[in-house]
A and B are shown apart, each in its own frame.
Chain A
Amino acid sequence: MRNLDGILLEPVGCLAEFPAEPFHEIARRLLGRRGKLSASGSRCYWHLLKRVGEFSPQTLAEALEIEAVNAAALYEDAVPALAELKAMGIHLSIASSLSGAAITCFLEKHSLGGFFTDVWHRDNAGGVQAVPLIRALCGASLQPENVMFLTDTVEGIKVARSAGVHPVLMMNDPDEARRLAMRSPSGGVVSLHEIPDFIRLVAAQNRTGQLDG
């Protein structure tokens, strides 16, 4: 793996645990879907992104996403990990398929805005899934092979691959992570506090490889 100098983050499932219920509500009220998509907020969210164009009215989708943001629990290691990464000079971007209003609410609620060089969401990126990732890469002139995207869903792995960045698993649920590990992600972490070590290890391996080689 080449040295990593950028991380794209999707708040859902990577910076915070989002409840599934608001996403069920979006599916029920905007798409007329009965039954629950999944017990996992992340999986519901990624599932819904396939049909985001059908959300009508968009304002209701936004309101429900803000409800999800307000109910989300920020991971306790998020702030120290982001602070350490920023101090290491790692480029941090939000690359999310949430609405602009939901992302703004999330960053303000947890006072995270200062950590990110840029913030991409479905409104300013003009699309969902891989689109915010690609906009973030282009906007910061990052080489995709030097960038990781944290994800805890199979859709997230696919989206990262389609954008050319390294999909790295957030192994929140061991059983789900075991299934996702079969999809050959570039790596996986149990906790955000491992990300700085991940980046340092890759850099150290590359240095040692040069010495040995």
Chain B
Amino acid sequence: MKKISIYKPSTVDQAIQILSQHGTSAAVYAGGTDLLIRLKNRLEQAPSYLVDIKKIDHLRYIKEDAQGGVEIGAATKLAELADSRLLQEKYPMLVEAVNKISSPELRNASTLGGDLLQEVWCQYLRGGYSCWRNGGYLCYGAIGDNSYYHSAMGGRLCYAVYPGDAATALIPFDARAKLATPQGVKELSIEQLVPGDLMVDGRIQSHVVRFNEILTSVVIPPPMPGVRASFEKLRPRGVWDFAMASLAIRLQLREKTIEDARVVFGGIAGRPLRETVVETFLKGKTLSSELGEQAISVALVNAAPLKYNATKIDMAKGLLASGLARLSA
């Protein structure tokens, strides 16, 4: 592992100052379940300076806001989300999703911010191949084994899928992220936070957070009456693995009529993929056990699987059918 220096700032402002000073050679360190592995894997883009934000007050909390929504500090452990009565009561689908992230041990260490902003888990990147995210100019996933962790919806330079489950589950609730930046607080939707492969500060990354910015919290609007939501995930192993395909779905119902819908697929594209075509299709329909079969006929029509991962599209469509069936029960 390369030699690293660790800073332990006590405020967000101090942390931003340190990050600004070191440029892209510094990174925020909280749970460490992604960052430390990148260091162990000796990745080209792994930082030399870690800015440990664990001791900063006001980054680890789950609290109800004045409007009846919930704000979650970015350094809150995933296990704390999974155990939260407040979240269970207001957004049970989010808790269901968090419980399907990784393993209990890792959820005890991983933070919400870390899950949202984690690096992709392409085996070629993590294996030290000189790919787009590791100092090179070629995607080995596009030409190698892309059965599990690569996009079936096309790509742009890097074909790895966005691996986080929390973002997939938060988007249906129209959750927003707050970032501390040198210019002040910036607020983005979760979709805007993780738009997939893009160039930020000369690097390919899945999120828009710049080298001198810190994700501080996630705000979820108050739950609406008549909402049903579900999270489904298929992975190569029963536990402790990333999604080959996942689906977060939220329906706003009046009686059995769908008034509004959010449909977000995970594990199949470089970003959590909001499928607006299906959302539009569902609006005005009556929720029934047969609706899923109709919905899959309009879903993911722009699929562009790689050589070995066409099955992901079938899986995702299967999740859509089963998710809708589950909500109609």
Contacts and interface: CB of A to CB of B under 8 A. Distances in A.
Nearest to B201: A208
Nearest to B159: A190
Interface stretch (A14-22, A109-117, A126-134, A192-200): A192-200
| Chain A binding surface, main DSSP class | helix
B139 A190 contact: yes
Interface string A171-199: 10011011001000111111001100110
A174 B25 CA distance: 34
A92 B24 CA distance: 33
B238 interface: no
Interface residues of B, number: 23
B136 to A, nearest CB: 7
Interface stretch (B62-70, B105-113, B140-148, B284-292): B140-148
A73 interface: no
Interface in A26-81: none
A208 B137 contact: no
Contact of B199 (A175, A189, A200, A211): A200
Contacts of A197: 156-157, 199
A140 interface: no
Contacts of A194: 156-157
Contacts of B140: 181
B25 A198 contact: no
Contacts of A88: none
B127 to A, nearest CB: 14
Contact of B139 (A185, A188, A206, A207): A188
Given A181-B140, A188-B138, A211-B23, A201 B156 contact: no
B155 interface: yes
Query: How many residues of A sit at the interface, in one of the four size bands?
Result: 20 to 34
A204 interface: yes
A212 B144 contact: no
B143 A208 contact: no
B137 A187 contact: yes
Contacts of B157: 189, 194, 197-198, 201
B186 interface: no
A185 B138 contact: yes
A190 B137 contact: no
A212 B199 contact: no
A168 interface: yes
A212 B24 contact: yes
A148 B182 CA distance: 38
Nearest to B130: A184
A181 B24 contact: no
Contacts of B139: 188, 190
B143 A181 contact: yes
A87 interface: no
Contacts of A206: 202
Interface string A141-175: 00000000000000000000000000011010011
Interface in B88-145: 132, 136-140, 142-144
Nearest to B200: A204
Given A174-B306, A204-B199, A198 B23 contact: no
Contact of A1 (B132, B137, B144, B202): B137
A168 B307 CA distance: 21
Which among B23, B24, B139, B144 has the highest number of chain A CB atoms within 10 Å? B139
Nearest to A148: B137
Contacts of B295: none
B137 A168 contact: yes
B204 A171 contact: no
A36 to B, nearest CB: 24
B137 A186 contact: yes
Contacts of B144: 174, 178
B23 A212 contact: yes
A64 to B, nearest CB: 31
A202 B132 CA distance: 10
A169 B138 contact: yes
B143 A171 contact: yes
A124 interface: no
A167 B143 CA distance: 17
Contacts of B202: 201, 204-209
Contacts of A211: 23
A188 B307 CA distance: 17
17 contacts: A168-B137, A171-B138, A174-B142, A174-B307, A177-B142, A181-B138, A181-B140, A187-B137, A187-B138, A189-B157, A190-B139, A193-B156, A197-B157, A204-B199, A205-B202, A205-B203, A209-B202
Interface of B: 23-25, 132, 136-140, 142-144, 155-157, 159, 199, 201-204, 306-307
